[in-house]
Chains A and B, each alone.
Chain A
């Protein structure tokens, strides 16, 4: 059951001119949040923005005793809400409704989890990695962006035991090109290994990763991003076409049935 918190901004770390990580005091959300769930966020009390916007929970913050105290969200400046989140200062209050949505179903060892992130699609994977580590599931992060300057938290993931495979469109680090290049290379080499993929990023990337997974006989869960009105199932704005088993599709709400779906069930447009 979601709660609505006027969350105090604990810190706002600017990773680049576009990216920031906002830390929010939200113990009730942090305590129950599962990897892949999201929060509906609204900075300010006015009508611009009017609606909340969905953000994956990036990290769960804990005090020295391990008690959950808050969450972070990873944001990239695109519109009015993300601009306000970029400018938010310590002590600001931000309405935060959550946790919402269906989490990733994470595999147990000896199966491996391969996280595939594109750009701001890194957003759910910090909590995912912590949950994988708690299970002892070996984790790899495939992470692609435009250039080396747009790859963040690499040490964070490395320090927590994730194997990294990187790709940049300009070739400044890792493979030159899309993240599917190292992913396909490793899928080809990983015969006999149990691997499940977890992907979040731009829709064309999700489609490509999902199709690769199908071709190599792997399960792939994707976290989709849709324009969302309420996050609660009330408005039917954020629908995703899923296969209906009869060659057609039916629309399901990504807020309550997702945002995590089996990639093989989505009808990619």
Chain B
């Protein structure tokens, strides 16, 4: 029997990714920051930092604090706005050949739809990820992500505004993320991604002040991984559309855990901060595993977790 290279490609709605590894929003700038360091085409794709219609300055420092096996951030969605992104960044991004998913934000349903329309007319956008789950800004985002009706309404509005695949990014800061995955599916989403960060707080005991300027922030990193795996599993069981899993992935083993739990693809965020060259290591580990287990296509591994009693 000849040795064959496993098929790593995955299908997210109408979007075909070369492999299931995606750089997570807020952890990869606008992609160009990494274009001279790694070949962006070796990733399944990357998700841009969240974009509103207009520029946002973000929160004052300190914006992050490291916590056990994790970090809390409250960047505040600093960003250049959708028009500057289209005019100043997208032409450069197109040259890299990267599969580009744009993360979109809004303070109102109309703004989400408006940002989606602007990007639908631009060349080089593969899909839209809807940020309805940022825990760090008062207005917009999470107000839609924490209410089923809000999630349904914003996804429906964006669905009407674009032909691009749309991927609502779900918050873990609800009792039952699977119901939000279902609401997204019902509203016409092509996939869902989860989890965004867990609302968290770290306190400087000497000053008795929060460690970051915004007070609370979002926890990411290996600390949250088992909870994220559980939520990914629950959502994958609840919907037919693909689930993109994330939360503390730092090795090929972690990628595989999410795939087995039911994720069709994964996103990597915090680990990219630690190691910008992690992508080739994850791909090699993934390929090794599939070869070793004689699994021809990565898609065949998705959702194969076995809960039966031994």
A residues whose Cβ falls under 8 Å from a Cβ of B: 1-2, 4, 42, 47-52, 95, 97, 226-227, 229-230, 232-239, 241, 250-251, 256
Contact = CB atoms under 8 A, between A and B. Distances in A.
Interface-central residue, B66, B73, B272, B275, by most chain A CB under 10 Å: B66
Contacts of B277: 4
Contacts of A97: 276
A235 B273 contact: yes
A229 B28 contact: no
Contact of A50 (B34, B57, B66): B66
Given A48-B69, A251-B60, 5 more contacts: A95-B275, A230-B274, A233-B29, A234-B272, A235-B273
B33 A232 contact: yes
Contact of B75 (A51, A230, A235): A235
7 contacts: A4-B276, A50-B270, A52-B273, A230-B274, A233-B33, A236-B26, A236-B58
Given A47-B69, A232-B34, A232-B37, A227 B62 contact: yes
B62 A235 contact: no
B64 A239 contact: no
B49 interface: yes
B78 interface: yes
B61 A226 contact: yes
A97 B58 CA distance: 27
Contacts of A230: 27, 272-274, 276
Nearest to B31: A234
Q: Is the interface of B mostly helix, strand, loop or mixed?
A: loop
A235 B221 contact: no
B58 A234 contact: no
Interface in B45-85: 49, 57-58, 60-66, 68-71, 73, 75, 78
Nearest to B76: A236
Given A2-B37, A47-B222, A52-B274, A236 B63 contact: yes
A188 to B, nearest CB: 34
A33 B221 CA distance: 31
Nearest to B61: A239
Contacts of B60: 241, 251
A227 B27 contact: no
Contacts of B26: 235-236
A103 B62 CA distance: 24
B36 interface: yes
Given A48-B68, A234-B29, A239 B63 contact: yes
Contacts of A241: 60
Minimum-distance CB pairs A-B, first 10? A233-B33, A230-B273, A47-B69, A237-B64, A237-B63, A236-B75, A229-B273, A234-B29, A233-B29, A1-B36
Interface in B105-133: none
Contacts of A233: 29, 33
A237 to B, nearest CB: 4
Contacts of A42: 274
B11 to A, nearest CB: 27
Nearest to A95: B275
A209 B252 CA distance: 48
A139 to B, nearest CB: 32
Nearest to A47: B69
A250 B64 contact: no
Contacts of B33: 232-234, 256
A239 B29 contact: no
A51 B66 contact: yes
